[in-house]
Structure 1
Amino acid sequence: MGVEIRVEGLKKSFGRQVIWEDVSFTIPAGEISALLGPSGTGKSVFLKNLVGLLRPDRGHVFVGGGDVPRLRENELYDMRRKFGVLFQDGALFGSMNIYDNIAFPLREHTRKSESEIRRIVLEKMEMVGLTGAEAKLPGEISGGMKKRAGLARALVLDPEIILADEPDSGLDPVRTAYLNQLFVDLNTEMGATFLIVTHDIGTARVLPDNLGLLFRRGLVMFGPREMILSSTHPAVNQFFNARRQGPIGMAEEKDQAEVASEGAIPKAMPAPIPPQLMPSDGRLRPSMRRPGEWLREHQTKPPPGSFIDDQGRNWMTDWDSLVHARERPQ
């Protein structure tokens, strides 16, 4: 099962440049969360602080009871085994074939026999759809296959937490859709905690249970997907609806005069909230909630057209019948 990550009062700077300060939020155990923000807001730096590759100026990162910035080196080594990390470019060793790349963590961190390593590697390769690519070198496969090979390597130690740094970067929309479905299916099967850093609004709108936005050296908001996608907060509304109007500018944030000049423009409503991705096998993930449940609990009206899928079905009103249809044997 997944592990909760609790961040309290985190600050990080490089010299005089403050990346973010006083960041506090909780990433729920076993759920899929996504962290977004304009370029330069420290999303990748945040991931490195979670696993202890960087240490914050102050604050706490609690993972499974341990405070990462205060762990000794041997404790940090043991804690990192809870994590599987998918790097932005896959970070494969160019001189190793795909099989050896994926086997590397097992050979480095365990005493398993080669026969046991082979069983695990082939199992993870099958999970990510890479069966038959064992002998290929990274230079001989596509960008999407590199991502999946990096993901298989992140899975071989059966981590409780999966971190993915912009996994959709460089992928076309179809491959991104396949990768998103893979994340959902892996979360269903493993129950691990997923934290995905992404720029892709399409991914953010359909994949995670929770969303967060980094901006202006801090965390603007973090919470359930429906809370974020229905928010009228200027930065949140602007970013998750990909609009020019708002406090975010070409160079991260606009000056006050530019923001004030937009004040006369009527505020745009949030775009319709799409249905959340479902597991391929029809099961419901434990963290999934009925469409519109958060909105009803907080007496918030969904944006018009929300929860309508590409077949015209309304997932808010027809949830029970849709779920029962998925559960019936085909």
Structure 2
Amino acid sequence: MGIEIRVEGLRKSFGRQVIWEDVTFTIPAGEISALLGPSGTGKSVFLKNLIGLLRPDRGHVYVGDGDVPRLRENELYEMRRRFGVLFQDGALFGSMNVYDNIAFPLREHTRKGEGEIRRIVQEKMEMVGLTGAEGKLPGEISGGMRKRAGLARALVLDPEIILADEPDSGLDPVRTAYLNQLFVDLNCELGATFLIVTHDIGTARVLPDNLGLLFRRGLVMFGPREMVLSSTHPAVNQFFNARRQGPIGMAEEKDQSQIDDEGAYQAMPAPIPPQLMPSDGRVRPSMRRPGEWLRRHQVKPPPGSFIDDEGRNWMTEWDELVAERRRPR
């Protein structure tokens, strides 16, 4: 099962350049969370701080009982075994075939025999849909297959936390949709805590249970998907609806004069789409009933929310949809 990550008062800078400061939030155990933000806001740097590849200027990262920035080297080594990391480009060894790439962590970090390693590797390859590609080199497979091979390698040590850095970069929309469904299915099956860093708004709107936005050297907002997607906060509204009007500019943030020139532009958030469900129709433990957060906080959903491609309203037809998906096929 997944474990909770608590981040308290985190600050990171490189020389005089402050990346972010006073970042505080909790990544819930066993849920899928996504972290977004304009380019250059330190999303990948944040992941490196979580696993101790970089150390913050100050603050805490609690993973279980350990505070990552204060762990000794041997303790840090053991703590990292609780993580599985999918790097942005897959980070496969070009001279090794897919099988050996996936087996690498087992050979490096365990004393398992080759028979047991083969069983585990084949199990993870089946999970990510790579059965039959064992003997191929990374250069002989597509970008999407390399991502899935990197994901299989991240899973072989049965991690409690899975970090994915821009998993959809370089993928076409169809492969991105397949990868998103795979994340949902794996979370349902493994119960691990997922944190996904992405630029893809389509992914962010349908995949995670929780969303966060980094901007202006800090965390603007983090919370349940419906809370963030219904927010009228200027930066959140602009980013998650991909609009030009707002405090985010082409390079960095706009200055106040630019914002003033735009006037008091305030657009309604876009409709909130239904959240992805596992392929087998199960409801994940962390998946909330559509509209639940909005009802509880008396927030009116944007018009057209929770309507799927078949025209069904998931807020009013949820019980029927769940029953339909659970029927044998």
**TM-score between the two structures when normalised by the length of structure 2:** 0.99
Secondary structure of 2:101's aligned partner: helix
Q: Deviations over 1:215-266 (max 9, x none)?
A: 000000000000000000000000000000000000120011001111244x
Aligned to 1:253: 253
Give the Cα–Cα distance (whole angstroms) in 1 for the partners of residues 273 and 304 of structure 2: 9
Secondary structure of 1:54's aligned partner: coil
Question: Offset of 1:207 from its aligned partner?
Answer: 0.1
Aligned to 2:182: 182
Aligned to 1:312: 311
Aligned to 1:272: 271
Q: Is 2:93 aligned against 1:114?
A: no
Secondary structure of 1:273's aligned partner: coil
Q: Deviations over 1:153-197 (max 9, x none)?
A: 000000000000000000000000000000000000000000000
Aligned to 1:294: 293
Give the Cα–Cα distance (whole angstroms) in 1 for the partners of residues 297 and 191 of structure 2: 28
Q: Is 2:91 aligned against 1:91?
A: yes
Q: Which amino acid in 1 is paired with 2:23?
A: V
Q: Is 2:310 aligned against 1:324?
A: no
Give the Cα–Cα distance (whole angstroms) in 1 for the partners of residues 65 and 318 of structure 2: 37
Aligned to 1:217: 217
Secondary structure of 2:120's aligned partner: helix
Give the Cα–Cα distance (whole angstroms) in 2 for the partners of residues 159 and 34 of structure 1: 18
Aligned to 2:242: 242
The list of structure 1 runs, each at least 4 consecutive aligned residues, that deviate by more than 6 angstroms after superposition, is none
Give the Cα–Cα distance (whole angstroms) in 1 for the partners of residues 172 and 46 of structure 2: 26
**TM-score between the two structures when normalised by the length of structure 1:** 0.99
Give the Cα–Cα distance (whole angstroms) in 1 for the partners of residues 49 and 134 of structure 2: 33
Question: Offset of 1:314 from its aligned partner?
Answer: 0.3
Give the Cα–Cα distance (whole angstroms) in 1 for the partners of residues 61 and 264 of structure 2: 42
Give the Cα–Cα distance (whole angstroms) in 2 for the partners of residues 6 and 242 of structure 1: 29
Question: Offset of 1:329 from its aligned partner?
Answer: 1.8
Secondary structure of 2:196's aligned partner: strand
Q: Which amino acid in 1 is paired with 2:95?
A: S
Secondary structure of 1:162's aligned partner: strand
Question: Offset of 1:299 from its aligned partner?
Answer: 0.1
Pairwise mapping of residues 1-330 of structure 1 onto structure 2 (< 5 A)?
1-265=1-265, 267-330=266-329
Q: Which amino acid in 2 is paired with 1:78?
A: E
Secondary structure of 1:249's aligned partner: coil
Question: Offset of 1:276 from its aligned partner?
Answer: 0.1
Secondary structure of 1:219's aligned partner: strand
Give the Cα–Cα distance (whole angstroms) in 1 for the partners of residues 190 and 157 of structure 2: 12
Root-mean-square deviation (CA), in Å? 0.5
Give the Cα–Cα distance (whole angstroms) in 2 for the partners of residues 326 and 149 of structure 1: 29
Give the Cα–Cα distance (whole angstroms) in 2 for the partners of residues 60 and 288 of structure 1: 28
Give the Cα–Cα distance (whole angstroms) in 2 for the partners of residues 234 and 242 of structure 1: 12
Give the Cα–Cα distance (whole angstroms) in 1 for the partners of residues 29 and 264 of structure 2: 43
Aligned residues: 329
Unaligned 5+ residue runs, structure 2? none
Give the Cα–Cα distance (whole angstroms) in 1 for the partners of residues 5 and 263 of structure 2: 38
Overall identity of the aligned pairs, in %: 90
Q: Deviations over 1:61-109 (max 9, x none)?
A: 0001100000001100000000000000000000000000000000000
Give the Cα–Cα distance (whole angstroms) in 1 for the partners of residues 123 and 321 of structure 2: 32
Question: Offset of 1:326 from its aligned partner?
Answer: 1.1
Q: Which amino acid in 2 is paired with 1:76?
A: L
Give the Cα–Cα distance (whole angstroms) in 2 for the partners of residues 68 and 291 of structure 1: 36
Secondary structure of 1:177's aligned partner: helix
Give the Cα–Cα distance (whole angstroms) in 1 for the partners of residues 162 and 175 of structure 2: 20
Secondary structure of 1:269's aligned partner: coil
